[in-house]
Amino acid sequence: MTSASYFALVPAAGSGERMEGNGVAKQYLPLNGHPVLYHALRALCAVPRIARVFVVLASSDGEWDRHDWSGFGSKLSPLFCGGPSRAESVRNGLRAIAAQVDAHDWILVHDAARPCLGSWHVEALIDAVGVDDAGGILAVPVTDTLKRGDDDGRISATLPRTALWQAQTPQMFRHGFLRRALEAHPEVTDEAGAMEALGFRPRLVAADPTNLKVTYPLDLQLAGWILQHRGEDQ
């Protein structure tokens, strides 16, 4: 087997329903002078080992061309094949790039709404997974006490947090295995879930809470603060 290459795939076809009252998909919301999506793509493009970054957009996306992506050069490739769910967008993206990658090449799937990813996060994931066919994901151990609620908004149980992790992205798997997993299990909420359904046990690679996902308006403010204090707001 020849040496495997690394590619990133960023599903960005969603509308971000929980970011209320703005009329703009959250990946295009302004964050320190650029769209949220720009910061995620910048981190991935900055990793020398990643050969190309594919961003999966809705076929009707009219916002992409309103922004300047020229700074990423030929390393960035938009794919207008997104679906109504994350899993479908990733699956469509994997299909679209099948002629450009080998089955054993690594695909790092990253949320468009995680703008505070650092290149060091990506390097740590690549190094930790190595050649393990099970792949791996960035994650952080759960530190808060977890409660299960009932339909009345009352606590029904306290859950032990031992050995629990909060999944992040990128999630890194071989193209062939990941495509097969998502074709067989389109109902999953993340790529690791599809791989687990095939019997794989992906590696957990410790990250940190700064790699947050922008879901609510306050998250956008926090992301801006993180990027500014890293000196990444230009």
Question: Which pLDDT score is estimated for 194?
Answer: 97
- 86 compared with 21, residue with greater pLDDT: 86
**Mean pLDDT over residues 75-102, rounded?**
96
Contact 20, 220 (CB under 8 A): no
**Mean pLDDT over residues 171-192, rounded?**
96
Q: Which two tokens stand for residue 92?
A: 């469509």
Q: How far is CA 106 from CA 120, 134, 222, in A?
A: 17, 11, 31
Q: Is 31 helix (H, G, I), strand (E, B) or coil?
A: strand
Contact 201, 131 (CB under 8 A): no
Amino acid code (one letter) for 52: R
Query: Quick one: pLDDT band at residue 20, thresholds 50, 70, 90?
Result: low
Instruction: Find tokens 């990643």 and name the residue.
Output: 50
Question: Which pLDDT score is estimated for 21?
Answer: 46
Q: Give 227: exposed, middle or buried? Use CB within 10 Å, 0-12, 13-18, 19+.
A: buried
pTM above 0.85, yes or no: yes
Which CATH superfamily groups domain 6-230?
Spore Coat Polysaccharide Biosynthesis Protein SpsA; Chain A (3.90.550.10)
**Mean pLDDT over residues 137-153, rounded?**
95
